[in-house]
Amino acid sequence: MSYKPAIVANAVLHSAISRGIPVNHLKLHKLVFFVHAWSLVLYGRSVVSEQPEAWSFGPTFENLFYRLNMQGHREVVDYITTLEPRSGELQGVIPHPDDGKTWTVVNQVMDRYGGFSGELLSTLGHEPGGPWEQARLQQLVLIPDDLIRDFYGEKMARYKASTSATPVAARAPARINVSA
């Protein structure tokens, strides 16, 4: 299932709060981008229902940006509210706990990237040859999912190749690798 960026952001925020990891607007936004990227690689489709745009400061989900922008550099501590159609009320909505694919990728992204600052995450989103740079060079507004999937899929392939010669007992659990 795919969700609006605000709902995925709430899942990331939920995971961050449960781990005691503070997040601000920038960090939360970049973590949602990595959830988008890695779900494309792992599942062939994103758990985020919108594509990121190639803004000058990096991959950005426009609606999420404007929902969080008033936070500035302060820590985000409240869920982003969404109109709940059944009740007609604004509520902080997260994916259903039974949505294993969404929570798996959210937790894997938090395991790998959760300890990084928003600034470092932003730098990682600007990697040379990466999907944001490619979209900017092609003057695209939206960053195509195939650029994202191919770039991060290649990272996954390099990581797997680099660990294939290591005995299984000596290997850490397979997780998303930024440095590959």
pLDDT tops 90 at residue 52: yes
For residue 81, the cross-strand partners are: 92
Tell me the residue range of the domain where 95 lies: 5-152
Q: Is the pLDDT of residue 85 over 60?
A: yes
Average pLDDT over residues 166-172: 48
Tokens of 84: 């709940």
Task: Quickly state the pLDDT bin for 82 (edges 50, 70, 90).
Answer: confident
d(CA 73, CA 14): 19
Residue 162 in any domain: the answer is: no
Q: Is residue 179 one of the residues assigned to a domain?
A: no
Domain count for the chain, please give it: 1
Is this prediction's pTM over 0.75?
yes
Q: Residue 164 has what pLDDT?
A: 73
19 vs 15, 27, 107, 144, CA distance in Å?
6, 15, 10, 32
Q: Give the pLDDT score at 177.
A: 46
- Domain-located, residue 166: no
Query: Does any domain span residue 164?
Result: no
Whether residue 141 lies inside any domain: the answer is: yes
What is the pLDDT averaged over residues 2-12? 95
